[in-house]
Chains A and B, each alone.
Chain A
Amino acid sequence: MKNRLLWPLLALVALLLLNLVVTPSFFSLRMQDGHLYGSLVDVLKNGAPTLLIALGMTLVIATRGIDLSVGAVAAIAGAVTCVHIGTSGDAGTAIAGMAIALVLCAVLGLWNGFLVAGLGIQPIIATLVLMTAGRGVAMLVTEGQIVTVNNTAYKQVGAGFVVLPTSILISLLVLALVAFVTRKTALGMLIEAVGVNPEASRLAGVRARTIIWTVYVFAAVCAGIAGLMISSNVSAADANNAGLWIEMDAILAVVIGGTSLAGGRYSLTGTLLGALIIQTLTTTVYTIGVAPEVTLVFKAVVVIAVCLVQAPKARAALSFRKVAVSS
């Protein structure tokens, strides 16, 4: 277990060191208007939505599923909240809007769960439905416009600070909750059991359907909260672009963290590392000034390197060489 997390951790450290070499001020932190200010804080703040979505995705993937609809769900959450808030600056309206959005996201999660657990449709197809249609729903809600709000209470979720960014505090709180609920109870083991063999676990008395249903609802609610962060960060709902391709980042974070897409064993710490690597990578590109034309290539090279060092075969080759050198 420890060994599996070593490589993603090393990758993260290497990325941070690269930044330190190119931009010596990367690690500098200072207080600005009562909150911490610096590049590392940006990594945490902008990585919070990806981390949250990746958490939900980890559990879904552990059941041998996948949820492609999270980006669209995030867009819907932002759209519904911003349209509800409208021109109001009232904290109550903002809270009501967020509550409505999250309940709606839970319903969307139920829908995904129904398709996967109820009708037995393959997860990638089932969630593709909402991935495509969801953005259309978000567009309908906002009538194709970018809805701008001016509400200090709402702004707190994605752009606010309690010394650290509020968004990362929310994500870490959810991480702690998930870790507690799945690792201190049997739930985590049951989820893994469903992922390894749904039929066998059902015969063993595990309520496989209920568990699958639950993880999709959880993933959708996580996506909803992430959508609120994304939209609140810029005080606007952009149905076209909010959470666009974030499902891919989330899946990548899960995979980098060492959770297998084949289901079964999962690692929450790995997902945390994965999400941090992805966001550090993005911030690195902006900070050290990689030209936009080669950004994607740069990112791809790093991701390939991280995945390669985790592959059992590549690792075996590496350790073989180590042995050869030492002997």
Chain B
Amino acid sequence: MLKKITTVAGVVLLSALTACGSGGGGGGTASSGGTITMGFAQVGAESGWRTANTKSIQDEAKAAGVDLKFSDAQQKQENQIKAIRSYIQQKVSVIAFSPVVETGWDTVLLEAKRANIPVILTDRSIDSDDTSLYKTFLGSDFVEEGRKAGDWLVANASGPTNVVELQGTTGAAPAIDRKKGFEEKIASKSDIKVVASQTGDFTRSGGKQVMEAFLKSQSKIDVVYAHNDDMGLGAIEAIKAAGKVPGKDIKIITVDAVKDGMTALANGEINFIVECNPLLGRQLMELTKKVVAGEEVPARVVTEEGTFTQEQAKAALPQRQY
């Protein structure tokens, strides 16, 4: 209920701002004052990862002296489109957003293009034939994340290794790509085999339930590859209940590196985490400055991401923000 009220209030506020903007005769354009105004349409606040993403963008905008207009779409495309339209009317210098879904953006982005406002996509991409609709896409390379997980396993596996995979939500881009990248790398070693693969829907409960079933149906499991930390954390619970030691009897590889995952990694219950970095605020501000200054930017910018072993997790954990 309260969320709804907030949305309504937000929309009202946005239209009020719009009214002021047009009343001022467009005098508030960024280039005239020297400061850059950015309109950012966020997906929502659906996970810890997303909250960290939002905070990073807000903090880095402040640090870079960018005037940020922020809106939360509550996971709805129509709210994002509304927000983008109001940014166009406010004549912001640049629009950035994480598209909720892949399709249906052509019309509103064309409006932005006609108004000469550059658009930057963050975190998620759009599916459109017209690549001139946006300047650049800043986000993670999910296939590369899968490859990093596969590389670690190839380097650390000895002898025949049976892997069970906990996939993300069926059909979601990160699930498809993380599976693809991982399979690409382990193909080089014939004694590493994925013996079972099921979706755990990116949730702890899902990961636990699937792992419980795997532990009974598979005679030998050496490694769990989970597409995110939460499913890995669920798998840890299942492995413990089976009387085995997670991280020793069964090795665990996950993707994301959120705080709970990092804690488990530092405690030795997870063996390796591939980072999926939500802190793309700084890179976004750098790109924004370049775009506003009219410099050429690459069409695809990959977020700076690392990997964590147990020792690195112990060192990194105290400063972990999310």
Contacts and interface: CB of A to CB of B under 8 A. Distances in A.
A-B complex is real: yes
Contacts of B2: 133, 136-137, 140
Give the interface size class of chain A. 35 or more
A235 B47 contact: no
A42 B216 contact: yes
B205 A283 contact: no
Contacts of A38: 216
Interface stretch (B124-132, B154-162, B193-201, B294-302): B193-201
B44 to A, nearest CB: 9
B233 A289 contact: no
B217 A234 contact: no
A37 B214 CA distance: 13
B247 to A, nearest CB: 17
Interface string B85-98: 00000000000000
A159 B234 CA distance: 12
Contacts of A42: 209, 212-213, 216
Given A133-B4, A286-B210, A240 B234 contact: no
B204 A238 contact: yes
A295 B204 contact: no
A234 B233 contact: yes
A238 B234 CA distance: 12
Contact of B198 (A136, A140, A292): A292
Contacts of B208: 233-234
Nearest to A234: B204
Interface in A131-163: 133, 136-137, 139-140, 143-146, 148, 159
Interface residues of B, number: 38
Interface stretch (B22-30, B33-41, B237-245): B237-245
Contacts of A136: 1-4
B283 interface: no
A25 interface: yes
A292 B170 contact: yes
Contact of B205 (A230, A285, A288): A230
Contacts of A236: 204, 233, 260
Contacts of A295: 170, 199
Contact of B203 (A26, A139, A235, A238): A238
A286 B170 contact: no
Contact of A46 (B47, B209, B233, B243): B209
Contacts of B205: 230, 233-234, 238, 241-242
Interface in B149-199: 167, 170, 196-199
Contacts of A238: 203-205, 230
A234 B234 contact: yes
B203 A159 contact: no
B103 interface: no
Contact of B48 (A37, A46, A146): A146
Contacts of B214: 286
Contact of B217 (A23, A143, A233, A292): A23
A144 B196 contact: no
Contacts of B241: 32, 37, 159
Interface string B228-272: 001001100100011100000000000000001000000000000
Contacts of B206: 241
B237 A234 contact: yes
B51 A286 contact: no
Nearest to A23: B217
A138 to B, nearest CB: 11
Nearest to A40: B216
A257 B73 CA distance: 41
A235 B237 contact: yes
A241 B201 contact: yes
Interface string A160-201: 000000000000000000000000000000000000000000
B216 A289 contact: no
Nearest to B214: A286
A287 interface: yes
B17 interface: no
Nearest to A39: B216
A135 B3 CA distance: 10
A292 B167 contact: yes
Nearest to B219: A25
A25 B243 CA distance: 18
Nearest to B169: A292
Given A136-B4, A292-B170, A144 B47 contact: yes
Nearest to A32: B243
A93 interface: no
B285 to A, nearest CB: 24
Given A136-B4, A144-B48, A292-B198, A39 B213 contact: yes
8 contacts: A42-B209, A133-B4, A137-B1, A140-B2, A230-B205, A234-B234, A283-B213, A288-B217
Given A136-B2, A140-B2, A230-B205, 9 more contacts: A23-B217, A37-B243, A133-B3, A136-B3, A234-B205, A236-B260, A238-B230, A240-B46, A289-B198
6 closest pairs, A vs B, by CB?
Answer: A286-B213, A234-B204, A136-B3, A292-B199, A133-B1, A144-B45
